[in-house]
Amino acid sequence: MLSIFDIFKIGLGPSSSHTVGPMKAAAAFSGCLNDLGVLPQVKRIAAEVYGSLALTGLGHGTFDAILLGLEGSLPHDVDLETLPERLEHINSQAQLQLNGTHTIDFEVARDVVVRYSDSLPKHPNGLRFIAYDENEQSLHEQIYYSIGGGFIVTDEQFGKPPTDAVSVPYPFQNMADLLRICDEEDLSIAQVVVQNEAAISGEKPLAVRRRVAAVAQAMFDCVERGLQQRGVLSGGLNVKRRAPDLAQKMQALREAGQLNTHLWPMIYAMAVNEENAAGGRVVTAPTNGAAGVVPAVLYYFQKFHPLAAPRAIEDFLLVAGAIGILYKTNASISGAEVGCQGEVGVACSMAAGAFSAVSGGTTAQIENAAEMAMEHHLGLTCDPVGGLVQIPCIERNGIAAEKAIKLAQLSLLEDGFNKKVSLDMVIKTMLQTGLDMKSTYKETSLAGLAVTLKQKAVPISVRVVEC
C-alpha cells in the first residue's frame, strides 16, 4: 500500500502535477536512456506536452521543469539558487546536459512540442518523450502521466497496482477497514500507520517518527520563510505577497489586546502558498496547489494548542497521511482530473481529521471531521487565473485551513456515531463529482474565474485555445 511519505514529498513550486511530476518524468526518461545504453547515441530529444499540462504549463513552470529533469535534476534536491542560470544557459546556448553527462542540441521552440488541443487517452496530464539518433531514427519513446501530488506513471503502469508492494501488518483499503483495525487491535490511527511505515521502510518505529518530524520541520520552515518574504509574485498578475504584512497587523492587534487567533491559520497557509507560487521549497500535502492547508493547521496547533508536543505533531501528520492515502487510493488528488476538490478539499479533510485526532478525538470523531471537510468542498473547481497557482489558490488554502480547525472542533462536540454520510461515501462521491465535472473547470484555465478575469484584461501567461 501507499506510504505517507508518498503523500508528503519535499519538492518545489508551483505545482506538484505540473512542475514536480514533469521534472520527475523527464529525469526518469533520461535515466532510462542511460540504463538502456543508448545515451551516447542520442542526438535530439522531443518532449510533447498534452492536455492540462499544455494549457497551463507556462504558468505552472512545466516547460522549465522538463528541461531541468532532462538534465537529471529531481525536485527534492535541485539547487533553487542555480535554476535561473541553468535555464538561461539552456535557452541561450540551445544545449543541455542529458542525464547530466551527455551534451545534446536542444532548441526549446523546436523540441518542446505543446499539444494545446490534444490529450493522451488515460489522463489529462500527459507527456511523451522521444529520443532520436543522428539520422533522426527513434532510439526510445515513452509516455508518462503526471497523476497528481507529484506521482508519475508510464503508459504501461497506468491503472495497475505497484509491482514492488510490501506486505504491511495492518493493510487498509478504506476508512471502514482502518476503523475496524483500530477497534480490533486497540490501536490509534497514528499507531497503525507507524507500524505499516516501519514495514514499508524496513526501519524501526522510532526512525519512522524521526522522518515524520523532519517533514513537520520542513513545513514549519516553509511557513516561516513565507512570513518573511515580501514583493510581487512573477507571472504577470502582479500579485503581492500579503502574508508578512497580514502577520504584522495580527501581531499589532494581539499586542493591543484584540485577539483573533482564528485568522492565524489563514495567514500561515497564505505564507506557504506564496512560497509555492514563487517556486520555493514546499511539501506536497497532498499537492503543491494545496500545500498550505496541512502545514498551516499544524503550525497553528504547535503555536496555540495546549496539547502541542513533539509526539502530537508526529501523530498529526501520521493521521493526515492516512487520510490522504484513502483519497489517493480510492479517488484522485489531481486537479486536472477531479478539480480543486481533489486538492484543497482533500487537504482540508486531512487537516480536519488530524486536528481532531491530536485534540483528543476518537476514531469516529476523526472520521467525522474528515468527512465534513470534504462534504463542503464537493464540486470545487480548479480555475487558476493565467494558469498560475495564485488566484484563487493562495486565499483558498487559507480558507480551507480555517475551516479544517472549525470542523475538527465541531467533531469533538459529538460522538461521531450518528452521521448519515461516511468518509468512504464522500470519497466515492468526490470522485464521481470530478468525473462529471466539465474538463474546462479542471486546471485548464478555460472557464470559471480564469475566463472572467481574462475578459477584464488581466494579463495571463497561458495560451488558451478556442473551444
Q: For residue 399, what is the DSSP state?
A: H
pLDDT of residue 456: 55
pLDDT of residue 464: 38
State which amino acid sits at residue 330.
N
List the one residue out of 113, 165, 139, 126 whose CA is nearest residue 36: 139
pLDDT of residue 462: 43
Q: How far apart are the first and last CA of the chain?
A: 40
pLDDT of residue 162: 72
Q: Residues 298, 317: contact at Cβ < 8 Å?
A: yes
Q: For residue 96, what is the DSSP state?
A: E
Longest Cα separation, the chain: 75
Q: Residues 235, 254: contact at Cβ < 8 Å?
A: no
pLDDT of residue 286: 96
How many angstroms from the chain centroid is the CA of residue 40?
A: 35
pLDDT of residue 455: 59
**Grid cell of 321 as nine digits:** 497521511
Cα separation, 288 vs 284, whole angstroms = 5
pLDDT tens for the 467 residues of the chain, in order: 899 999 999 888 888 888 899 999 999 999 999 999 999 999 999 999 998 898 888 888 899 999 999 999 998 888 888 888 999 999 999 999 999 999 999 999 999 999 988 889 999 899 999 999 999 999 999 999 999 888 899 999 998 877 667 899 999 999 999 999 999 999 999 999 999 999 999 999 999 999 999 999 999 999 999 999 999 998 889 999 999 999 999 989 888 887 777 899 999 999 999 999 998 999 999 999 999 999 999 999 999 999 999 999 999 999 999 999 999 999 999 998 999 999 999 999 999 999 999 999 999 999 999 999 999 999 999 999 988 899 999 999 999 999 999 999 999 999 999 889 999 999 999 999 999 999 999 988 889 998 887 655 444 444 433 22
Domain annotation for the chain: domains and CATH numbers: 15-154 (3.30.1330.90), 175-454 (no CATH)
Q: Residues 170, 180: contact at Cβ < 8 Å?
A: no
Residue burial 94-103, b: 16+ Cβ < 10 Å; e: rest: eebbbbeeee
SS3 of 152, please?
strand
SS3 of 123, please?
coil
What's the Cα-to-Cα distance from 408 to each of 151, 183, 268, 344, rounded to whole Å? 29, 21, 18, 16
pLDDT of residue 337: 92
pLDDT in tens, 23-67: 999 999 999 999 999 999 999 999 999 988 988 888 888 999 999
Q: Residues 279, 13: contact at Cβ < 8 Å?
A: yes
At residue 122, what are phi and psi to the nearest 5 degrees?
-100, -20
At residue 22, what are phi and psi to the nearest 5 degrees?
-60, -35
pLDDT of residue 461: 45
State which amino acid sits at residue 148.
G
* Angle of the 175-185 helix axis to the 423-436 helix axis, nearest 10: 160
Question: Which residues does 255 contact at the CB level (< 8 Å), separation at least 6?
Answer: none
Cα separation, 337 vs 443, whole angstroms = 8
List the one residue out of 316, 318, 390, 409 whose CA is nearest residue 354: 316
